[in-house]
Amino acid sequence: MRRAQIFAGLSIGAIALTFPAMSDAPKAPPAEPVHVPFEKSCEDTQITVYFSNQEAVLSSYAVRSLNTAGDQLAGCSISNIQAEVISADSAKGQLATSLSEARAAVVLDALNARGIRARDVHTNFVPVSELSASDTASLPMARRVNLTVSASKGYGL
């Protein structure tokens, strides 16, 4: 009886060894880098930049999205930039105003450094009282600057 159990255990183990290993590990990256062709477009672009709590500093993700927008809009004629600043994480009053202004300035300066300049820049500060319940329920979504960049083909494009 004991011998039959040992034999059954060994045969199950042998069968298990013949199956390929199942793993949740991701596949290995390709050996050669993948080239994704980049197309320039001089179309109106919307960019959203999110901020950490009580900060007006660009994160690495925000810098990456601004770099991508700068590459897309390089050589385009920018006629208008509309910035909508939402800072629901700050207290009411002067602190909220200064935090919103600082966030707008950081984003617009970053665009300016990437060669995206407009003749008209409109900044709209959205008070917390005008936000919908869904915006304030998810606080990270309520710390952002929404940009709408109006672009058209420039000289030579």
Strand order in the sheet with 120-126: 45-50, 143-152, 77-87, 120-126
pLDDT digits (tens, 9 = 90+) for 1-24: 677 777 666 666 666 666 655 556
List beta partners, residue 46: 148
Calculate helix-pair angle for 60-72, 94-113, nearest 10 degrees. Answer: 50
Total H helices, total E strands in the chain:
4, 4
Q: Which fold has domain 45-152?
A: 60s Ribosomal Protein L30; Chain: A; (3.30.1330)
Residue 146 pLDDT greater than 70, yes or no: yes
Quick one: pLDDT band at residue 58, thresholds 50, 70, 90?
Answer: very high
pLDDT digits (tens, 9 = 90+) for 66-107: 998 888 888 888 888 998 988 876 666 677 788 888 999 999
